[in-house]
Structure 1
Amino acid sequence: MDWSTVVKQTYRLFGVWRLLAAMLVMAYHFAHSAPNPEPVVKWFEHMLPLLDMFFIMSGFLIFEHYGRMENTGENYAGFLIKRLSRLYPLHLITLSFFVAFAVLVYFGLVNSQGADTRYDLTALPANLMLIQAWGVDSELTFNYVSWSLSGEWFAYLIFPVVLFAFARGRAFGLALLVATIIVALEIADHGATEKYDYWFNTKLWAAYRVAADFCFGALLCVVTRQIKVPRRCQWLAWGMFGGVFVAMFSEANIYLTLGLFGVAIVLAALADRTGKDETAWLDPVMPVATVSFGIYLWHPVIELFAYSLLWKRLIGIDDPALFWLFLPLPMILTIGVALASARWFERPAGKWIETTLVGLIGRRRLSRQQV
């Protein structure tokens, strides 16, 4: 069933920017194991809004491919099956490492400071159902970055609302939906004092943050269709992307930062729509860029072995110079694991999930018709 009337477009700038964001997030988390990590961790934290870029681009790309889908229950079920088969294998395989470690902790075979929090087995059902970022937990558990997958899944679940808003009001309808979500989030933020209590930083109830970003991305997709490609668009996009970093490091208002992200993303999309392959010079990076989300999900697994076990417990050298010399090794390993996982596990497992669920729905539909 083909729901899209849009020719598949390769967005190279999107891929490279997401790869850069994934690498920076990975370096940020690895840096927590450094001797005296506070200065460098604080430096990295200026770039936390890069996480929102993932979800804005996701909303853009999903709407690009499914925005013309007829808003019916049958299409919705097929859409969810396709999206679940895309993200769940990666979630399941990365989660399994932390569950195995939690079992070792539970039986006292290894010690961990997170035994009662991060490795709390009672949080496993929420992780398996991808609802851990819906406000059901008080701690990030197991693969702590999987809150992003939970938020992404929530965005897929509300996709019919996005389609409805677009059908009723086009760009204005999507803008109104984004504004409504943000107003609701700001009201929920009332009285917040801690940094991670605000909607644009939260992870424990990040599903609603992701919903805002996702809908904003859908709006940008519609806006992009209505704009003519300006000259030197690629370099305008890079320049605006640089402006986003200036805004982040100057601690600009979050709405200004997200607005700059929006302009950069629109320009990046237009640059890849020129038909002249202006961004073809990025092709050598694309095989790695396509697994940027895999890098993001796999790096806590590598962190568990490379830092929690190898660096801290076996090597045990408190030398900053050696730490930063060691840092590229687990980063390179993460990229290799993400590439292997995508090829040898995620794609085959995703096809199996999709085939199985489509067949199951087909059998149920047939049995209802026969009654």
Structure 2
Amino acid sequence: MRPAILNPLFAPVTTLSGVGPKQDKLLRYLLSCSETPRLVDLLLHLPASVIDRRNRPKVRDAEVGTVVTLEVTVDRHRPSRNARAPYLVYASDETGDVVLTFFRPKGDYIEKMLPVGAKRYVSGTVQMYDGVPQIVHPHPILDEAAFAKLSGIDPVYPLTEGLALGSLRRAIAAALTKLPDLPEWISPEVLNRCNFPPLKEALTRVHGPQELTDILPENPFWSRLAFDELLAGQLALALVRAQLRRPAGNRHAGDGHLRRKIIDALPYALTNSQAGALDAIAADLEKPVRMLRLLQGDVGSGKTVVALLAAAAVAEAGKQAALMAPTEILARQHAKTITPLAERAGMNVAILTGRE
């Protein structure tokens, strides 16, 4: 059962203001959801980078190719003569002129955003055209009151076609207001050692960075979220493993006499890692619960011999064992390797493939 405190995070994104059927469809595609995404899905869609809008030079000092925020006065408009021609807005400060360029603007949007004689704060990448600085499609365009509320650092998210960055930012900002203060589930020792902030603070700072470093992976805010994901995965895996091991199993380990014969027949001695793995497997086979174990090793490290010895432990208890391989070629290679060793211990080996 899900704790009631988590219910707000599982509300559909369509409960947010401004998120309608069109945005729902786009967010399903973006977040890889077959149904309407939940607020938690939206909050865990993290930014890929940030734009620093705190760079506020004068027009003459604006460096070409950089993102800047300019405080300018709107001088005049030059509407487009045809559909292909840009709509130009000429603005300036006490140090020089800048051209704000728009392609295919809608209606009187630009006249409302940039009225002649008004002071505006415009952001964008500075380019040079005919020796005059210009910004193509500046965003955002703010008056003084709105600019005072601007953080100065904007997160940039992975998007999908048709979904505007501003719409996604607004939806995530609204979702953050629904985020409850959750009880801590990470141990205090780990929190102190790693300098992790609370989950709510971590999400808030990653989505609303106050410094350029807030979204770096080595930063405590991003690291906290990564640790939560890793811990959740490990706990989920542990629960699955516990469920799989719960049904009673049978003891399948003998007295070791076949294993000793195989080891004596080897032209080499087992490595410490092989011996340790074999001991762990044999210990599992002696327990009345299911074994759930992964044997990991590089190519040529001797996994096949360990598998043969594990099969021998089962044979000692009077049972059969099967060594499965993903391809017939590999199955025949294994059979060629293990048959002579198994026969030295008195074990019968047969190969069964699709052609038999």
Same-fold status (TM-score > 0.5): no
Instruction: Name the one with the larger strand percent.
Output: 2
Give the structure-2-normalised TM-score.
Answer: 0.18
Give the structure-1-normalised TM-score.
Answer: 0.18
Q: Which has the higher contact order (CA 8 A, sep 6+)?
A: 1
Instruction: Name the one with the larger helix percent.
Output: 1
